[in-house]
Amino acid sequence: MRIKPATLLRHGILIAFSAAILLPLLWVLRVSLTDKLTAYKIPPEIGHLSFDNFIEVFTRFDFSLWFANSFGIALATTAISLPAATMMAYAAARYRTGGAPLLVTVLASQMLPPIVLVLPLFLLVTTMVPIGGRAAITLAHVAVNLPFMAWMMVSFFEGETKQLEEAARAEGATRWQAFRLITVPVAMPGILAAGLLGFILSWNEFLYALILSTSKSQTLSVGLASMETQAGVNIAPLAAATLLGLAPVLILLPFLQKYLIKGLSLGALK
């Protein structure tokens, strides 16, 4: 069978993108399973494989605390942001609340460097909750993620969801009944996709967590940045901790992949 040049080019591009994503993960996995001396060798060597780096992460550093803080903050951020973002997106889709300028402003705000928002966000958070606790970081993450999640879900409440809701209203359903029984179940892939992205954004966030946290409320991203000794960065334990930090996302994605893909493409299918 002859392979068309266009097909070969497409597969080559996909292989290149896949390699760009997988090779760093494989490199981190190799470093995490080798000793500290072998980890720095160029060209790379496999060496004797062991789990000593993973054990060191839990015994020498406060990894369990960092992980628990990150998971609790990301979960609380998603639980607070998702219902509010769903209502905001529904209002924007049905009643054009704020109109197109508001949606464009929300999208433009995501293009700002996070450092620009540090001072106003710090002043906002410190006037509402005590500084240094997980509540302060959660509030900051909600303030940043909520507008983006709402903007993302606007298109999910248009198209077929709007037509099905109008049909239910014509049959005598109230606005709340149509929203709860028709709109939300149909738009659930988009809602789950927004929730997953909100969780990942909160899990990976570094700058606001660095400014608002103390030693007891450090998140995983801040904790990884603090894994430095007087001799420099110990790359082998850092690679092990990084791999453990990626575990929740790698575990969640296979189960929610179909909802994420369907949710991200729902707005384009009218």
CB-CB contact of 29 with 243 (8 Å):
yes
Per-residue pLDDT averaged across 68-77, rounded? 94
pLDDT tens readout for residues 215-239: 888 999 999 888 876 666 788 888 8
pLDDT: is 252 or 208 the higher one? 208
Percent helix / strand / coil, the chain, rounded to 5: 75, 0, 20
| pLDDT at site 1 | 57
Q: Return the pLDDT at 269.
A: 42
Is the pLDDT assigned to residue 266 strictly greater than 60?
no
Residue bearing the bigger pLDDT, 102 or 60: 60
Local confidence band at 270 (pLDDT 50, 70, 90 cut-offs)? very low
* Confidence class for position 137, pLDDT limits 50, 70, 90: very high
DSSP 8-state class, residue 132: B
> What is the CATH number assigned to the segment(s) 62-226?
1.10.3720.10
pTM for this entry = 0.83
User: Residue 67: pLDDT above 90?
Assistant: yes
Residue 93's Cβ-count burial label (10 Å; 0-12, 13-18, 19+) is buried
Q: Looking at residue 260, what is its pLDDT? A: 64
Dig out the tokens for 234 from the structure. 């110990």
What gap in Å lies between CA 256 and CA 145, rounded to an integer? 20
Domain residue ranges of the chain, discontinuous segments joined by +: 62-226
111 — phi, psi (to 5°)? -90, -10
Size of the chain, expressed as the number of residues it contains: 270
Would the CA dihedral through 193, 194, 199, 200 be positive or negative?
positive
Average pLDDT, the chain: 83
3-state secondary structure 166-219: HHHHHCCCCHHHHHHHHHHHHCHHHHHHHHHHHHHHHHHCCHHHHHHECCCCCC
